[in-house]
Amino acid sequence: MPENKEPILIIGNAPITADIRAEVDSYTRVVRFNFCAGMPQHLGRKCTDLWLSGRGRQAHKLVHSHLDIDAQQLLSLVITDPPPNPVTQTCFRLLGRQGSLDHGEALMTKFAPAHSKKRITAAARQQLLAELLRLGQPECKPKWPSSGTQAIAHFVAAGTPVHIIGFGFQGWKRHPWRLERRYVAKLQEQGKLRYLA
């Protein structure tokens, strides 16, 4: 693992029963996702990097719900869906396809105080999916990698040591969970990632 950078902690949304408040507070940067698994007390409060889904009902709910996160303390906000096609979005609205509507700009506005705000590009997302597909056969035809795996890939590519907890590799059926597990195991073998004990 690179020694010249502090590790970053990425907290997934799988259930975590252990009290990790002290460990969370020891990291300079802590990444969380969407509703942050409810931010229960035993998972600490620190959140410096927030990765959010930009499309569908969950994104709509994120826009209109209170997240107990101080946007002034956010170093980065990342929307994990690429910028939408305006024509397609208009069609979705006319057809009432709520699950396909993009709310990325509204989320950017909601968390405007974040020091850095960006969206994952379609090219970056497809490149990661292609890398995952080289690891074997997926359970079904995947659409794109999960937000958690996108975050892991992002920080590993930057040369940042990554520590993770709360990754269960299950959920929406269009993520290649089996391949994501293999990808994380490969990074672990390479010394680029470790699980928070």
| Amino acid code (one letter) for 189 | E
* Residue 165 belongs to a domain: yes
pLDDT confidence of residue 139: 87
Q: Residue 1: pLDDT above 50? A: no
Element (H, E) at 187: helix 177-189
Q: Is residue 98 part of a domain?
A: yes
pLDDT tens, residue by residue, 4-62: 689 999 999 999 999 999 999 999 999 999 999 888 999 999 999 999 999 999 999 99
| Residue that wins the pLDDT comparison between 93 and 119 | 119
3 part of a folded domain:
no
Quick check: is 1 in a domain?
Answer: no
Distance, CA of 196 to CA of 23 (rounded, Å): 9
Per-residue pLDDT, 103:
95
Closest CA to 51 of 43, 59, 60, 41: 59
Residue 187 resides in a domain? yes
Q: Which stretch of 37-51, 85-99, 158-172 has the lowest confidence by average pLDDT?
A: 85-99
CATH number of 107's domain: 3.90.1480.20
What is the total count of domains within the chain?
1
Domain that holds residue 156: 8-195
